[in-house]
Structures are given as structure tokens and as C-alpha cells.
A and B are shown apart, each in its own frame.
Chain A
């Protein structure tokens, strides 16, 4: 019983803590002296590291916003407008994601490649020129991240929408609230906890993504995670990879904290004292 708890501490908490120490060493391995020089090098190139960090966080935020916009009505439709086959619909949204995410990235690659089905359709409608392609742009990465993490958001929001009691809506209606007011002041705040959970489980992996950008992003869509991965697998500068991981993780956590604060301000009272 306790040993499995210790296992988690040893495998998750300790390595994350040690990252801070590893980041202070001088490279390329993790047996150098403590100098902190990698932090200086990272700080000395804001046009590379700063820009990519901002892009990772921006892409993560945009992907999260996109999933909320698509998943919210989906969750509502599942909860209120489907009777018997609800679980089947939910399963259908999730099922492609039970295969390897690499396969889905590959499928997206085929779909948006120059001359591929999507581009051919866009050219046919007149929305794109013959030589245009989404592939190897940051838009491709955004599309991929939103596609990959959509089911997480649907699940989180569905759980929240399911908990909304109809009597609350009836009360709002009897007090004269129109449908927009019921949505804005009753339903939306009640799904705030679900939005927050979705935010955490979508934004974190999206901002920490690296393969998606590597395969679909080209140089225009390169992410901070791609750079971390290359520091380990190609460049072999392990302390720099450690320092960058710390930077990314802390940025993600700070941004999540800020977003939670924002949600609390936007929906006062909605995010406390449940259960």
C-alpha cells in the first residue's frame, strides 16, 4: 500500500524537483559542477527562447479556447438533447483517440498536405490558392492540438453540464430571465468548475507538446517543447533541457493560476464550496 505511494514520489516528485538542480549544472551531461551558466545562455537569447516560450503558451491558450468553443455546445447537446444513445455519442468522440496520437498526427498530415483533400476543397471553393498549404505553419499545429485534446474538454464540460439542476433554470425563468440571461448568469457560471478542469487537462499538455509541432509545424510552428526535445535527443545539452523544462513547467503553472483567478473574477462564487 504505502510502497506504491513511495513509488510515485520517487518517480514523479523527486525527478521534477531534481530538474531544478540539473538545470544549474554545466553541461553536456548531468555530472558537471554547479555554475548556472545555462540559465545565463537562455536569458541571453530572448529572441529564440522567449519567442518560442510565448508561442507555446499562445498556441496552448488558443487550442484551449478553440476546444471550449466546440466542446461547450457539444456537452450541452449530449446532456439535454440526446436520450438513449448519449454514451455512444460520447464514446464516438473519444474512440479515435484510443489509437496512437501519432497516427492522428499522421492523418492530419495527410489531410492538410498540399494537394490533399482539405486543400483541394479549399482551392475548389476559392478560399486558397493552388500552391497554398496549412502544413508547416503554426495554424497546422493549432488545428492539431485542438483536435487532439477536444475529447478531454468534452468530458470535463459534459460532467459539469450534467450536474446542472433544471429546477435552477425554472427558478430563473419564473423570475423573468430570458434565455440569454439564463445562459449568461446561471448556466455558464455553473459550468465554470468544468471549464477550469478542462483548462488544466487541455492547456497543460497542449503547451507542453512537441511532436505535433515537429511533424506539422515546420519552422513557423516550432514550439518550446520541440527545442527541449532536441536538447536531449540531438544536441545533448542535458542541463539546458532541464532548465528549459523548469521554465516551461513554471510558466504553465503560473498561467493556469492566472486563468483560475480570472475565472473566479468572471464568475464570482462559482468556483468554491462544491461538495
Chain B
């Protein structure tokens, strides 16, 4: 970790100077106009209304969500003994972790190849990656399932892993590519000219500089895999229900206080993860670079 924080400060200029030259001048009011701030709060209010309703109802005793509010924590007890949901959560975590790690490894390698090796191929790959991001997951999932059926494999754990990986990989690549492009090769060249072998220069100079982007991309891959219902729904072997699939079967049968409790727990986790992401990503957000890539291809 020490190198991560030291490397950029030891060489100021390389990154910051580039950014500053490009940065637009903006005046941000010391105190925002009340109207604009009120709008922000209104939007946040809308975003959190459904969530808040579910959180409140998770502490309500009524099985049907009816209103004389009677506080209880019985649904959390019920959740703790709901083996199907717990098993599904475990499966989702295992799947998302393996996919995120594989995507981080392959994605970083691919990003390095795009930026450092491929000269002409880079554009082709950017187009390819943005295509992979913009095709609806339903269509991707159906396409992959049909190929697996045609080959005679059908649904399976391997297919689920590969499908999730294919969806998550482009996000890691785009995030790391954005970081590498802002970096240049000067620092690595300097290390090489001081006698470091290529692999050493990469490990001691480049890797620490892109570590944050790689970590951000990995977290993004985890979140995307965790939520990717269409891929799970079509590619997971029968009986291997992930958490979204389990929620789906519950929701189809209507209101369920167990799900209220689960939603509250997951929102809590999301807030934690979100704040960690916030600390990690600082300025370079994953989806923002993905958006920039899409702008480039479509614009």
C-alpha cells in the first residue's frame, strides 16, 4: 500500500499536469441557489421513496403490509432462518467474487494490450467493448444459451461463469484503459532507463499507479455480476438459484415481509459498499468512463 500512495506524490506533474491542462474552468457557487438544492433533495426523495417504504414495512408486524404500524423484528428472525435465501446469497457472493477476480485479471491484461501493444486494433476493440456493454442482457443471455444448447452443453455452472464474465469484463477494461491513457509511458521508461527489467518496471511503477482503477473495475464487476438477473435466469443450472432469482420467485407470489427485511439488509450493505467505492473512485468513476467510451463511439 505504501507504494500506492507514494508513487504519484513522488512524481507530481505526470498525471496532475495533464489533467489541469484539459480541465474546463467552472465556477461553483459557494452557496448553491436554494431552488437547485431543493431540486436535488426532491430527486433524492423520489429515489429513496420505494426503498424507505420497504425499510419501514420490514419493522411492521402485519403480514400484508397493512397500516396500524406495530413495531417488530420478527421478519429479521424469519430471514435468519430462511435457508433458501441464505443459500442463494452465498451462491451469489461466490459467483460474483470469482467472476470479479477473473474479470480483473483478464480485463487488466486486455487493457494493457489495447493501450500498449495494439495500435490500430485499439479502435476495433473499443467498438467491440462498447457493443458488449450496450446489447440488452436479455438478448446476450438468450444468444449464449442457444449456442450452449446447439453445442449440446445446455445450462451449467461453467456457462453461468462465462456469461457473467463476458458481461463484466468490458467494464473493467474500459476503466483501466481510461487510467492507462491518462498515464503515458514516461515513468515506466524512466524506470527502464535506470536499469529495471520490463517486468520489474511494470510491477514497481505501472501497477501501483493503476491499482485504484483496477480495484474500482473489480468492484464494478462484482456489483454487475451480483445484479445480473437475465444472465442468471437463462444460464444458471436448474436448482442453482442466485439471490436475484430467489427474490424473483418470491416477488411473483406477491408481498412478503421476509423480502422487506432482506431488502433492508442489502441496502445497508449497498450503502457501505457505495461509500467504499466513493472513497476509492474519487474522481474517476467507472460508469463515467464507460459513458465517455460510448460518447466516443456514437458521437
Contacts and interface: CB of A to CB of B under 8 A. Distances in A.
Interface stretch (B142-150, B186-194, B200-208): B142-150
A204 B295 contact: no
Interface stretch (A40-48, A177-185, A237-245): A237-245
Given A95-B271, A111-B50, A166 B149 contact: no
B80 interface: no
Interface residues of A, number: 105
Interface string A134-161: 0000000000000100101001101100
A9 B128 contact: yes
A156 B132 CA distance: 18
A219 to B, nearest CB: 15
B138 A229 contact: yes
B59 to A, nearest CB: 14
A12 B128 CA distance: 9
A76 B270 CA distance: 26
B248 A93 contact: no
Interface string B27-41: 111101100110110
A15 B274 contact: no
B30 A83 contact: yes
Nearest to A9: B128
Interface string B258-299: 011011001101110111011000100101101110111011
Interface stretch (B2-10, B71-79, B164-172, B209-217): B164-172
Interface in A1-60: 1-5, 7-9, 11-16, 18-19, 22, 29-31
B177 to A, nearest CB: 13
Interface residues of B, number: 101
A215 B252 contact: yes
Contacts of A96: 47-48, 51, 267, 270
B143 A5 contact: no
A238 B133 CA distance: 24
Contact of B28 (A2, A81, A98, A233): A81
B295 A16 contact: no
Contacts of B295: 156, 193-194, 196-197, 274
A241 B147 CA distance: 13
A30 B150 contact: yes
Given A91-B278, A99-B263, A274-B295, A1 B139 contact: no
Which of A73, A147, A197 has most B Cβ within 10 Å? A197
A81 to B, nearest CB: 3
A194 B117 CA distance: 30
B132 to A, nearest CB: 5
B288 A155 contact: yes
Contacts of A245: 138-139, 142-143
Interface in B150-195: 150, 162-163, 165-166, 169-170
A232 B229 CA distance: 15
Interface of A is mostly: helix
Nearest to B107: A4
Nearest to A160: B295
A29 B136 contact: no
A241 B243 contact: no
B288 A210 contact: no
Given A117-B53, A166-B27, A201-B294, A210 B109 contact: no
A266 interface: no
Contact of B169 (A7, A93, A108, A111): A7
B65 A116 contact: yes
Interface in A211-230: 211, 215, 225, 228-229
Interface of B: 24-30, 32-33, 36-37, 39-40, 43-44, 46-51, 53-54, 57, 65-66, 106-107, 109-110, 112-113, 117, 125, 128-129, 131-140, 142-147, 149-150, 162-163, 165-166, 169-170, 223, 226-227, 229-230, 233-234, 243-244, 247-248, 250-252, 255, 259-260, 262-263, 266-267, 269-271, 273-275, 277-278, 282, 285, 287-288, 290-292, 294-296, 298-299
8 contacts: A2-B113, A16-B139, A18-B150, A95-B271, A96-B270, A210-B138, A210-B230, A242-B142
